[in-house]
Amino acid sequence: MLTLLLRRLVLGAITVVIVSLLIFAGVEALPGDACTAFLEREAQGALLEKCRVDLGLDRSAFTRYLEWAGGAVRGDFGMSAGGTERIATLVTDRLKNSALLAACALAVGVPLAILLGVITGLWRDRPVDLILSTSAILAMTIPEFVSATVLILIFSVWLRWIPGIVVAPADYPISAFFPEIILPIIVLSMVMTAHILRMVRSSVIEVMASDFVQMATLKGVPYWQVVFRHALPSALLPAINVVALTVAWLLGGVVVIEVVFNYPGMGRMMIDAISDRDLPVVQAITLIVAVTYVGVNLTADILTMLLNPRLRTYHMRRR
Amino acid sequence: MSGVAQARSSGRMQRLWCVLRDVAARPSGAVGLSLVGFHILLAALGPWLVPYDTGAMSSGEMLETPSMAHWMGTDHLGRDIASRVMLGGREALIVTGLATPLAMLWGGFTGLALGLAGGRIDEAMMRIVDAFLSLPGILILLVLVMTFGTSNAVLVPTLGFLFGIPVIRVARAATHEVIARDFVAAARARGHGAMTIIAVELLPNVRDTLMVEGAMRWSWMLLAFSSLSFLGFGVAPPTPDWGLMIADGRIYMSLALWGVLGPVIALSSLIVGINLAADALAKSLGIDRARKAVI
C-alpha cells in the first residue's frame, strides 16, 4: 500500500517536471522573445544585443530553465514582459478570484450532480431519467458562451435581476463580486453537474446490478437500506476522479466564461497575456494550471485508493 | 442490438450499414443523425441557396427587424443574418471534418502501437502524454494561433495534433483489454510483425471504442473551434462564422435579439446533434460512454 502511494507520488512529480520542460521548450520555440516584444520595431543590432545581455537571454536555454523552474518552486515567476510588475503579485489576486468561482461552482454542482445522478441511476429509463439525462447532454454540449449569452439575455436584459458583467477589478475583496458572480456560477455548475451526473448514473446502474447488491436484496434487506448502506458507498467512489477533472477544468479551462462575464480570474489573465505577447506570464499561468491539474488528480487517485479496499488488495495481488 | 450482433461475422461495409440502421432506429440517434445531416447538407449547398451575399453591407439597413426581405433581420453592418447563419458553419465543418480524422489516425495508431509495445517505451511516452493532458488545451491553441495565424493550414494540424493526444490514452487502454487474449499471443507465435498484429488483430477489436471516441472528439473540436472564433482568435471577419456572429451580436443583444438567436440555435443544434448521435452509437455498440467523459 505504502509503495503504491509512493509510486503514484513519484509519477506525479515526474509529470510535473516533464510539464515544466514542455512549457519552457514550447515558449522557447516560439519566434521572438522578451526583447523583441519590449523593443518592438527597434529590435535590431546593438540595442537588441544589449537588451539580451541585460535580461540574461544570452545564456544557454538550460541555465535559464533551471533559474525559471527554481524560482517557480519558491513561488517567484519573475517579471512580466513589460518589466514593471512581479508576476507572482499579479497572479495571486487572479488565483484567489478563480478559486472563489471554482469553490462556489463546486459547492452548487457536486451535491446536485450526485443527487440527480443517483435519481437517474435508480430510476433508469423512466421519464425522470430520460428528462434529466437529455438535459445533461444539452448542458454539457452547448458551448459555454452560448448558454452564458442566453442567461445574460434572460436575467440581465429582460428581467434585469442580476448585472450581466463583473465590473470590480481583480484586487477587490471577495464581497465585491456578488451578486454578479451568480450567473458565471450557474453556467459553470451546469456543465460540471452534467458531467458528474452521467458518471454517477452509470456507476449506480453498474453497482445496483452487481452480485453483492443482489445478495443483500435476497437476504431481505430493505430497498433503501440496500441503496444507502451497500450500493452508494462503492457507486460514488468513481465520482472522485470526475470531480478532480472538473476542479482542474474550473481553474484553467474557463477562459471563455471569464471573458463573457468580464470576470477577473486566471482565464482572462491568460487571454490578456496572449494578446500582449507577454510570454513570461503565459509560462507562469500554464505552469500553475498544469501543476494544479496534476495535484488534484493525484489527490483523487490517492483518495480512491484509501477509500476502496478492493483496489488496495487488487493491486497487492497483482504485484 | 441483435442486428449488430448478427452482422459481426459478415462484411465490413454491411456491418457499418447495420450499425447506422441501429443508430437511426433509436430516438436520440434519429434526431442526432438528421440534425448532423441537415447541417452538412446546408454547408455543402449553402453557397447556392443563400438569398444575399454574406459580405454585402448596407448602411441604410442596420439592425433591422426580421422582414420578408431579410427573414432573420440584419446585423450591425446591415448584412443579411439568414444568409450568414446558413454559411456560418462551413468553416467549422471543413476544419473539424479534416482535423478529426487526423486526430483519430495519429492518436489511434500511437495508442495501439504503445499498447502493443508495452514496457519502458510505453511507460516513458505515457508520462509525456500525461504532461500534455495537464496543459490547458485552449491555451496551447491560443498561443499557436497568435503566433502562426488562423489559416486552415494552421488550424487543421494544430487541432488534429492536440485532440489526438487524449485518443492515445483511449486507444492504449482499449488495446490493453485485447492484448492479453490468446489470439494476439497466437499471432506473435506465428511470427507476425507489429504492423500486421495492429491491423489484423487489434484494430478490429478496438474499432468500436475508437468510433465512439471519434464522434465525441468531433464535438469537442467544434466547441473549441467556435470558442476560438468567439474570443476573436479564430475565423477572420468578414467570413461568416457562428462563434464570431454571437460575439458580434452580443453587443447589440438588447436592441437586436435576432442577431444572436440564429447563430445560437444553429451552433447548438449541430453540437447537440453530434452528441445525440454519438450517444446512440455508443449504446448500439454497447460502450459505456459516460465512463469516458473527459472535460
pLDDT per residue as tens digits for the range A44-100:
677 777 777 777 777 777 888 888 888 887 777 777 766 677 888 888 888 888 888
Q: Is residue A312 over pLDDT 60?
A: no
How much is the pLDDT for A319? 39
How much is the pLDDT for B10? 54
- What would the mean pLDDT of A195-211 be, rounded to a whole number? 88
How much is the pLDDT for B98? 95
Query: pLDDT band for position B15 (50/70/90)?
Result: confident
pLDDT per residue as tens digits for the range A252-288:
668 888 888 888 888 888 888 888 878 888 888 888 8
- Angstrom distances, CA of residue B239 to CA of A224, B54, B93, B252: 58, 8, 14, 19
**Inter-chain touch B230–A143, beta carbons under 8 Å:** yes
Does A290 lie at the interface with B, CB-CB under 8 angstroms? yes
Among B8, B20, B23, which residue's Cα sits nearest to residue B276?
B23
DSSP element (H, E) containing A39? helix A34-39
How much is the pLDDT for B110? 93
Query: B63 or A126: which carries more pLDDT confidence?
Result: A126
- What would the mean pLDDT of A175-198 be, rounded to a whole number? 86
Of all residues in chain A, what percent carry a pLDDT higher than 70? 91
Query: pLDDT band for position A113 (50/70/90)?
Result: very high
Q: Is residue B220 over pLDDT 80?
A: yes
Q: Round to whole Å and give the CA distance between A126 and A133.
A: 11
B227, B230, B231, B233 alpha-carbon torsion, rounded to 10°:
90
Number of DSSP helices (H) and strands (E) in chain A, helices first: 16, 0
User: Nearest CA to CA, how far is A91 from chain B (Å)?
Assistant: 16
Omega before residue A264 within 30° of 0, cis? no
How much is the pLDDT for A211? 87
Omega before residue B238 within 30° of 0, cis? yes
How much is the pLDDT for A214? 87
Among A293, A195, A302, which residue's Cα sits nearest to residue B130?
A293
pTM (global) more than 0.80: yes
Residues of chain B contacting A278 with CB distance shorter than 8 Å: none
How much is the pLDDT for A239? 83
User: Nearest CA to CA, how far is B261 from chain A (Å)?
Assistant: 9
Nearest CB among A18, A30, A149 relative to B250 is that of A149
- Residue numbers of B between 211 and 240 with CB closer than 8 Å to A: 219, 223, 226-227, 230-231
**Inter-chain touch A253–B138, beta carbons under 8 Å:** yes
- What would the mean pLDDT of B87-100 be, rounded to a whole number? 92
Does A132 lie at the interface with B, CB-CB under 8 angstroms? no
Q: Is residue B6 over pLDDT 60?
A: no
Of all residues in chain B, what percent carry a pLDDT higher than 70? 93
Query: For residue B74, what are the β-bridge partners?
Result: B80
How much is the pLDDT for A313? 55
Does A102 lie at the interface with B, CB-CB under 8 angstroms? no
How much is the pLDDT for B289? 58
Q: Is residue B294 over pLDDT 60?
A: no
Q: Round to whole Å and give the CA distance between B98 and B92.
A: 10
Cell reading at B13: 461495409
At which residue does the C-alpha cell 511507460 appear? Answer: B123
Please, what's the b/e burial string for A38-54 (b: 16 or more CB within 10 A of its CB; e: otherwise)? eeeeebeeeebeebbee
**Inter-chain touch A153–B260, beta carbons under 8 Å:** yes
Residues of chain A contacting B132 with CB distance shorter than 8 Å: 22
Nearest CB among B135, B146, B246 relative to A146 is that of B246
Does A94 lie at the interface with B, CB-CB under 8 angstroms? no
Q: Is residue A173 over pLDDT 50?
A: yes
Q: Is residue A175 over pLDDT 80?
A: no
When the pLDDT of each residue in chain B is averaged and rounded to a whole number, the result is 83
Lowest mean pLDDT among A267-271, B6-10, B138-142, B177-181: B6-10
Query: A281 or B1: which carries more pLDDT confidence?
Result: A281
User: Nearest CA to CA, how far is A297 from chain B (Å)?
Assistant: 10
Query: B55 or A134: which carries more pLDDT confidence?
Result: A134
The DSSP code sequence of chain B is: -HHHHHHTTS-HHHHHHHHHHHHHHSHHHHHHHHHHHHHHHHHHHHHHH-SS-TT---GGGTTPPP-SSSTT-B-TTS-BHHHHHHHTTHHHHHHHHHHHHHHHHHHHHHHHHHHHH-HHHHHHHHHHHHHHHHS-HHHHHHHHHHHH-S-HHHHHHHHHHHHHHHHHHHHHHHHHHHHTSHHHHHHHHTT--HHHIIIIIIHHHHHHHHHHHHHHHHHHHHHHHHHHHHTTSSSPTTS--HHHHHHHHHHTTTT-THHHHHHHHHHHHHHHHHHHHHHHHHHHHT--SGGG---
Which residue from B minimizes the CA distance to A246? B295
Q: Is residue A219 over pLDDT 70?
A: yes
How much is the pLDDT for A77? 77
**Inter-chain touch B131–A18, beta carbons under 8 Å:** yes
Of all residues in chain A, what percent carry a pLDDT higher than 90? 8
pLDDT per residue as tens digits for the range B81-92:
888 888 888 989
Lowest mean pLDDT among A35-44, B19-28, B81-90: A35-44
Q: Is residue B261 over pLDDT 60?
A: yes
Whether the Cβ atoms of residue A101 and residue A263 lie closer than 8 Å to each other: yes
- What would the mean pLDDT of A127-154 be, rounded to a whole number? 86
Question: What are the backbone angles phi and psi of residue A251, rounded to the nearest 5°?
Answer: -80, -30
Neighbours of B272 (CB within 10 A): 21
User: Nearest CA to CA, how far is B11 from chain A (Å)?
Assistant: 32
Q: Is residue B176 over pLDDT 70?
A: yes
Does A307 lie at the interface with B, CB-CB under 8 angstroms? no
User: Nearest CA to CA, how far is A300 from chain B (Å)?
Assistant: 15
How much is the pLDDT for A37? 67
Does B255 lie at the interface with A, CB-CB under 8 angstroms? no
Lowest mean pLDDT among A229-238, B60-69, B263-272: B60-69
Among A272, A39, A30, which residue's Cα sits nearest to residue B148?
A30
- The dihedral region occupied by A132, where left means phi > 0, alpha psi between -120 and 50, and beta the remainder, is alpha
